[in-house]
């Protein structure tokens, strides 16, 4: 199961903007596995928007603001804000496990709610 599964229709769409599958895979790998994201996403999670825009591909430039808002709304506070936070998130398996457990519970409760 991936982060994408936990958020259903938010997997590639947010506020009428579509994120690429590669971007969502990289977010999944960062948040759930602690893999350091590439230059664009690392800068996005660090809130270094000038560097993020410089490193973004064409598609990520078109949905830049939506991705920034998505990170602020859905990513754990510990996983964002500056480069030190990004590096700390990658090293802290306990934070990743806590977030993974939260996502799994949220997913289960949402699925149970659909069946009622």
**Domain range annotation of the chain:** 3-115
Q: Are 7 and 75 in contact (CB under 8 A)?
A: no
pLDDT at 6: 47
> 52, exposed or middle or buried, with CB in 10 Å at 0-12, 13-18, 19+?
buried
Rounded CA separation 50/89 (Å): 22
Q: What is the pTM of this model?
A: 0.82
Which residue, chain included where needed, has tokens 């996005």? 44
- CB-based contacts of 99: which residues, under 8 Å, 6+ apart? 31, 32, 76, 79
Biggest alpha carbon–alpha carbon distance for the chain: 47
Which residue, chain included where needed, has tokens 């602690």? 34
Helix (H) or strand (E) holding 17: strand 17-18
Could you count the other beta carbons within 10 Å of the beta carbon of residue 35?
Answer: 12
> 44, exposed or middle or buried, with CB in 10 Å at 0-12, 13-18, 19+?
buried
The pLDDT tens digits of the residues spanning 72-112 come to 988 999 999 999 999 999 999 999 999 999 888 888 888 88
The pLDDT tens digits of the residues spanning 10-39 come to 445 555 667 888 888 999 999 999 999 999
pLDDT at 115: 63
């Amino acid at each position: 199961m991936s982060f994408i599964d936990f958020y259903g229709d938010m997997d590639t769409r947010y506020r009428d903007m579509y994120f690429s599958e590669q971007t969502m895979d990289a977010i999944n790998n960062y948040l759930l596995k602690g893999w350091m994201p590439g230059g664009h996403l690392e800068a996005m999670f660090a809130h270094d928007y000038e560097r993020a825009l410089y490193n973004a591909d064409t598609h990520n430039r078109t949905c830049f603001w939506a991705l920034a808002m998505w990170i602020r709304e859905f990513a754990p506070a510990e996983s964002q804000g500056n480069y030190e936070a990004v590096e700390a998130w990658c090293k802290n398996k306990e934070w990743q496990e806590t977030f993974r457990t939260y996502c799994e519970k949220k997913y289960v409760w949402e699925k149970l709610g659909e069946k009622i």
